[in-house]
Structure 1
Amino acid sequence: MDTVTHGDANQMWNSLASTIRDVAKETLGVAVGTSSGHKSDRESWAEERYKEANREAKKAVACAKDKAYEVLYRKLDSKEGSNEIYRIANARERRRRDIDNIKFIKDEAGLTIVKEDEIRKRWEGYFQYLFVGEGPGSQEDPQDLGIGQFQNNNFCRRISQEEVRSALRKMGRNKAVGPDQIQIEAWRCLGEDGVRWLTCLCNKTLRSYKMPTE
Structure 2
Amino acid sequence: MGTPEGEKIIYRIAEARRKDSQDVGELGIIKDENGNILIEEEEVKRRWKEYFSQLLNTENECEELENVPPVEGPIANTRESEVESAIKKGKVNKAAGMSELTTEMIKALGNLGKEWVHTLLEKICYVEEMQGTGTIVG
Give the TM-score normalised by structure 1.
0.37
Size of the aligned set, in residue pairs, is 105
Which aligned pairs between 1:42-57 and structure 2 lie closer than 5 A? Answer: none
What residue number does 1:209 align with?
Answer: 128
What residue number does 2:66 align with?
Answer: 106
Write out per-residue CA displacement over residues 26-60 of structure 1, whole angstroms, 9 at most, x where no aligned residue: xxxxxxxxxxxxxxxxxxxxxxxxxxxx9xx58xx
- Matched residues, percent identical? 17
* Aligned amino acid, residue 77 of structure 2: R
Which aligned pairs between 1:35-46 and structure 2 lie closer than 5 A? Answer: none
Structure 2 unaligned residues grouped into runs of 5+: 1-17, 28-38
What residue number does 2:87 align with?
Answer: 168
The alignment status of 1:92 with 2:56, answered yes or no, reads yes
Give the TM-score normalised by structure 2.
0.52
Counterparts of 2:25 and 2:118 in 1: how far apart (Å)? 55
Instruction: Please report the RMSD computed on the Cα atoms of aligned residues, expressed in angstroms.
Output: 3.9
Q: Which structure's CA Rg is the greater one?
A: 1
Counterparts of 1:158 and 1:63 in 2: how far apart (Å)? 50
Which aligned pairs between 1:1-214 and structure 2 lie closer than 5 A? Answer: 61=23, 71-73=40-42, 75=43, 81=46, 85-86=49-50, 88-94=52-58, 97-98=59-60, 104-107=64-67, 126-127=69-70, 130-132=71-73, 156-213=75-132, 214=134
* Aligned amino acid, residue 185 of structure 1: E
Write out per-residue CA displacement over residues 87-129 of structure 1, whole angstroms, 9 at most, x where no aligned residue: 54233211xx449xx795434xxxxxxxxxxxxxx7xxx22xx
Structure 1 unaligned residues grouped into runs of 5+: 1-53, 108-121, 133-154
Instruction: Name the one with the larger helix percent.
Output: 1
